[in-house]
Structure 1
Amino acid sequence: MTQKNTQALWLNLLEKMPLIAILRGITPEDALDIGHALVEGGISIIEVPLNSPSPFKTIEILSREFGQNAIIGAGTVLTQSEVSSVVSAGGKLAVAPNFNPEVAQQALKAEMLYCPGVATPSEAFSAIEAGATALKLFPAELVTPSVQKAMRAVLPESVNLIPVGGITPHNIPDYLSCGANGFGIGSALYKPGDNKNTVKQNAKKFADSLNMARASM
């Protein structure tokens, strides 16, 4: 898949169901079951944090199974070498809790989507200038809906804002009304040990909340 096609798929998935599953702690053995639960539940952007067990193997499994119609990538990407390892595993997305210009450069060189963590306008503009695909507003407990609204007012409209941290079905409407373009969802969606049915039910709760909020706007 070319960078242009990956970018088009990313934007299409954000428009359809802008939820990013953060599978912290997932193992390669659980990857297919949880991946199918998410895709069947309408979530097709999947992030495997690199502090999970055997993350590159999990990314490889998910990319092989879902990579044509889903965006599979890594979270907690902190170094240039980690970017290269994600690419080798078939990942198309690099998410980080911070902005690092060297990581940004490596991700863009590898034709990956890059979503760094920012919490201030200064960090946001630095990341945009470095070519970030989207901005992870992190932690969302700090970047409240009102703070996000103020940032949205000064940032380019074309830049997607994705709050991460403490996102639940209950606070999605507040963030959405203040300019969020997507949401990263962690333990409220998946925790190690959760089975396929639990994850599918959790995905439905988030999707229902998002769709109701969109309908009321």
Structure 2
Amino acid sequence: MPSARETLSGSIVPVVVLDDAGVAPDLVAALAAGGIDTVELTLRTPAGLDAIRSVAGSSSVIGAGTVLTVRQVEEVADAGAAFVVSPGFDDEVVQRSLELGLTVLPGIATPTELQRALKTGLRDVKLFPADRLGGLDMIRALSGPFPGVGFMPSGGVSPANARDYLGHPSVFAISGSWMVQRDLIARGDFDEIARLSAEAVALLAGAEA
């Protein structure tokens, strides 16, 4: 199975919270129109699973976010998710994801959690909450004793710091939500979502090291 770095390399991964699964196709289409073709649909609401199911056959790479249990891993796999993202590191969630052939990106916040991730064979992790952990300073600190590890920062990523993050050699993707704000989705302003997505893509053009 592809690693997270292979699946998401150079990507902006929007973190999407949906209250209505029915808008998922329009949302994914708006993101794609703006140049973003990787989407993390979270399980933070009851609509999450149906949303994943409704767009799993699209041309975009659809992942499941806020996956906390083995049962949820199995549900999102059945729904057609291509990758799994968790806010923290759970051995059973990681193992079941790997067994089902899913790319898995667990969250870590400490060197100890990172070592546990490495023991499972993973080389890519989500740093969460990145802003509270020191952002790029934390990534630089971890990159010393853990060379070759890839990070996707999540939490506090914005247009103000996104380019700096993605320009770091250890950062293979960034996770953010500024282009998929919940109020924009609620009022169906997909043109604005497409515009913000295009701005984000333009901002990050050439930022990868």
Could you state the TM-score of these two structures normalised by the residue count of structure 1? 0.85
The residue aligned with 2:63 is 73
C-alpha deviation, 1:106, in angstroms: 0.5
Q: Of 47, 60, 63, which aligns to 2:56?
A: 63
Confirm whether residue 154 of structure 1 aligns to residue 136 of structure 2. no
1:9-158 mapped onto 2 (5 Å cutoff): 11=6, 13-15=8-10, 18-66=11-59, 70-132=60-122, 134-143=124-133, 144-157=135-148
Q: Tell me, what secondary structure is at the counterpart of 1:165?
A: coil
Rounded to whole Å, the distance in 2 between the matches of 1:28 and 1:180 is: 31
What is the identity percentage for the equivalent residue pairs of Structure 1 and Structure 2? 28
Give per-residue Cα distances to partners, 1:36-55, cap 9 Å, x unaligned. 11112221211111012321
Distance in 2, matches of 1:72 and 1:127, equals 23
Q: Partners of 2:173 and 2:111 in 1: how far apart? A: 18
Q: Using the alignment, how far apart are the partners of 1:122 and 1:8 within structure 2?
A: 21
Out of 180, 187, 195, which is 1:201 matched to? 195
Q: Tell me, in whole angstroms, the C-alpha distance in 1 between the residues paired with 2:104 and 2:122.
A: 5
Give the secondary structure class of the aligned counterpart of 2:132: coil
> Residues 101-133 of structure 1: CA distance to partner in whole angstroms, max 9, x if unpaired?
011110000000110111122211211221336
Q: Please give the alpha-carbon distance, in whole angstroms, between the structure 2 residues aligned to 1:162 and 1:9.
A: 9
Q: State the aligned residue count.
A: 203
5+ residue gaps, structure 1, are: none
Compute the RMSD of aligned alpha carbons.
2.0
Higher relative contact order (CA closer than 8 Å, sequence separation 6+)? 2
8 Å contact from structure 2 (residues 64, 81) kept in 1: yes
Aligned to 2:158: 168
- For residue 185 of structure 1, the aligned residue among 156, 171, 176 is 176
CA distance in 2, matches of 1:145, 1:133: 18
Distance 1:82 1:168 in 2: 29
CA distance in structure 1 between the aligned counterparts of 2:7 and 2:87, rounded to whole angstroms? 24
Secondary structure of the equivalent of 2:9?
Answer: helix
CA contact (8 A) 1:31 1:62 kept: yes
Matches of 1:133 and 1:27, distance apart in 2:
35
Residue type of the partner of 1:25? Answer: L
- Aligned-partner Cα distance in 1 for 2:132–2:79: 33
Instruction: Report the Cα distance in structure 1 between the residues aligned to 2:102 and 2:129, rounded to whole angstroms.
Output: 23
User: What is the deviation of 1:199?
Assistant: 0.9
SS at structure 2 position matched to 1:168: coil
Give the CA deviation at 1:8. Answer: 7.5
